Amino acid sequence: MRVGIAALLAILFAFCAVAAVERHSITLADRYVVKDKVLQPGVYTVEIDGDKAVLKRGDEIVVSGGRVETAKRKHLFTAIISKKKDGKLWLEGVEIGDSRRRVMFE
């Protein structure tokens, strides 16, 4: 009986760990450069796990090493943080809507 309860608890904890990953979609209308990678226009997913984040397109991780920061005020919607440099658009980060968090990919 105890083995069954322990197995059930192990499965439950594993499920909770997987469920802790947050996913937020962004759509890039133009080409962006991030960490010297060129991102083509399309739909991407920001996956947040604790204080780390990755940017994915489908199942492929496009950019890793994102860090989660806390902003001073709440963001009303999900938006990208970008700048234009040397004639190219550089994706610096993503503000997560309805929260104070942002993911920076610098």
Q: Where are the domains of the chain?
A: 22-104
Q: What average pLDDT does the structure give for the chain? A: 88
Beta bridge partners of 56: 45, 61
Q: What pLDDT shows up at residue 54?
A: 97
Position 7 confidence tier, pLDDT thresholds 50, 70, 90: low
pTM, whole model, 2 decimals? 0.78
Q: Hey, is 87 helix, strand or coil? A: coil
Q: Hey, is 38 helix, strand or coil? A: strand
Ramachandran bin of 86, using left for φ above 0, alpha for ψ from -120 to 50, beta for the remaining angles: left
CB 103 within 8 Å of CB 79: no
